[in-house]
Amino acid sequence: MDSTEAISFATLAVHAGREDLTELGVHAIPIDLSTTAPLPSITEGRDAYDLLASGQPLPKGMTTVYRRAWNPTVVRFEEAVAALESHGTDLHAEGIAFASGMAATTAVILSRVASGKPHVVAVRPLYGGTDGLLASGLLGTQVSFVDIDQVASSITDQTGLVVIESPSNPTLDLVDIAAVVKAAGEVPVMVDNTFASPVLQQPLKHGATFSVHSATKYLGGHGDAMGGIVVTDPDHAAGIRPIRTITGGVLDPWTAYLLHRGLATLPIRMKAQSETALAVATWLTQQPQVSQVFYPGLDGCDPQGLVGRQMTGPGAMIGFELSGGFAAAEHFVAQMQLITHAVSLGGIDTLIEHPAALTHRIVEESAQPGAGILRLSIGLESPQDLAADLARGFS
């Protein structure tokens, strides 16, 4: 394909990263399992190593030296996600894939600490792992957890990164990315785009520097492959690749193949799951035991009007709060027969979990979600079947 701008997002999701398959004489994505590569000469190996050490992508056909730094199957997945994140724009985006979403997040933070600016401004709520990592100071960071309207006033000459998540985990708060970018000024903004996926939101279009995904979730979509990816501009990508190589948080080729395969059905999965989520969220608002439902597609849950402006749809994640608190939540999840009680999200089957006890357990108590809040990741089941299963929780 000479241009990805002329084709639809759905078509790109099928074909990105596969452009040379006809030339290779294959139809499925090749999986390169080699851990090392034969070197044509010392000089060519040295030149490739120098490029990799500086964080530059290797030209096609150049020897890859060692697969911890560069694997062709992984590169296909990286190129495909970068194409989706920049679809319809003239942005030159590059992807860097990792063994997990937290490895991807860690690399972004380390790259900013290495730039000499260890202060991070973070807007809660965030995924619990990200929140806990920042709060720990493990990576040499000093963090200021702030509300949206405090971002600009919290920036100092030591601030290297602003971190947001939209929609947020687990209450689905929407954050105006462009407004945060404006408030951050020259400081790069990292957006956790896991809940939205590139189907619904493309943070780089709105000025963000980094769009980060737990690829384990919607990108893979089947709950059988763990990975992460950062999409950013070439300059920042060059600062992240060496961190991945040195720390070893690399994505293996088999998993890259599975995640890449998941991209082809991502648009239709997200469409179907979002439609079901709206039906289930609406049903939950009618249940007397539910004190609040968090879903951007409901009236009052998107006061800034970001769905339709920043996002193309409200997504497939739902949060809801039971008026009976923790005891009600404990009883509720125990009654599920169809819905699986488990962490993670974005797969083809519906999951339910208690954030305060699980995904956000390491967040400081004052910032944890309420004890009665449960999180639903809607799958591809019938909304009627899901509502029937949820009804058991109210028994």
Structure token digits, residue 58: 């290797």
* 108-144 confidence digits (pLDDT tens): 999 999 999 999 999 999 999 999 999 999 999 999 9
Say what the pLDDT of residue 5 is: 53
Q: Are residues 250 and 280 in the same domain?
A: no
Q: Is the pLDDT of residue 290 over 90?
A: yes
Q: Which of 213, 238, 263 is the last residue of a domain?
A: 263
Say what the pLDDT of residue 172 is: 97
* 45-61 confidence digits (pLDDT tens): 999 999 999 999 998 88
* 249-280 confidence digits (pLDDT tens): 999 999 999 999 999 999 999 999 999 999 99
Q: Is the pLDDT of residue 181 over 60?
A: yes
Mean pLDDT of the region 159-174: 97
Q: Are residues 300 and 240 in the same domain?
A: no
Q: Are residues 151 and 173 in the same domain?
A: yes
Q: Are residues 318 and 346 in the same domain?
A: yes
Q: Which domain holds residue 121?
A: 9-263
Structure token digits, residue 313: 């749809």
- What is the residue-averaged pLDDT of the chain? 96
Q: Are residues 283 and 257 in the same domain?
A: no
Please say whether the beta carbons of 313 and 307 come within 8 A: yes
Percent helix, percent strand, percent coil in the chain, to nearest 5: 40, 15, 45
Q: Are residues 221 and 299 in the same domain?
A: no
Structure token digits, residue 89: 């724009």
Q: Is the pLDDT of residue 7 over 80?
A: yes
Read off the CATH number of the domain in which 183 is found.
Answer: 3.40.640.10
Please say whether the beta carbons of 338 and 381 come within 8 A: yes
Mean pLDDT of the region 202-208: 98
Mean pLDDT of the region 71-88: 97
Q: Structural domain tally of the chain? A: 2
Say what the pLDDT of residue 384 is: 98
346 Cβ contact list (under 8 Å, min separation 6): 194, 197, 216, 217, 218, 219, 220, 221, 316, 377
Q: What is the DSSP letter of 195?
A: T
Q: Is the pLDDT of residue 3 over 70?
A: no
User: Which residue stretches of 19-125 are H helix?
Assistant: 21-24, 42-53, 72-85, 101-114
* 81-105 confidence digits (pLDDT tens): 999 999 999 999 999 999 999 999 9
pLDDT band at 198 (very low <50, low <70, confident <90, very high): very high
* 317-372 confidence digits (pLDDT tens): 999 999 999 999 999 999 999 999 999 999 999 999 999 998 898 888 888 888 99
Beta strand residue intervals within 254-367, DSSP E: 290-294, 317-322, 340-341, 351-353
Q: Is the pLDDT of residue 68 over 60?
A: yes
18 Cβ contact list (under 8 Å, min separation 6): 29, 76, 80
Q: Which of 214, 229, 263 is the last residue of a domain?
A: 263
Q: Are residues 359 and 223 in the same domain?
A: no
* 210-234 confidence digits (pLDDT tens): 999 999 999 999 999 999 999 999 9
Active site residues: 68, 127, 192, 217
Read off the CATH number of the domain in which 281 is found.
Answer: 3.90.1150.10
Q: Which amino acid is at 242?
A: P
Beta strand residue intervals within the chain, DSSP E: 94-98, 119-123, 142-146, 159-165, 189-192, 210-214, 228-232, 290-294, 317-322, 340-341, 351-353, 373-377
Q: Are residues 320 and 333 in the same domain?
A: yes
Query: How far, in Å, CA of 27 to CA of 36, rounded?
Result: 25
Asked whether residue 3 is assigned to any structural domain, the reply reads no
Asked whether residue 1 is assigned to any structural domain, the reply reads no
Task: Please tell me whether the overall predicted TM-score, pTM, comes out greater than 0.85 for this model.
Answer: yes
Asked whether residue 104 is assigned to any structural domain, the reply reads yes
Say what the pLDDT of residue 1 is: 47
Asked whether residue 4 is assigned to any structural domain, the reply reads no
Structure token digits, residue 66: 């060692």
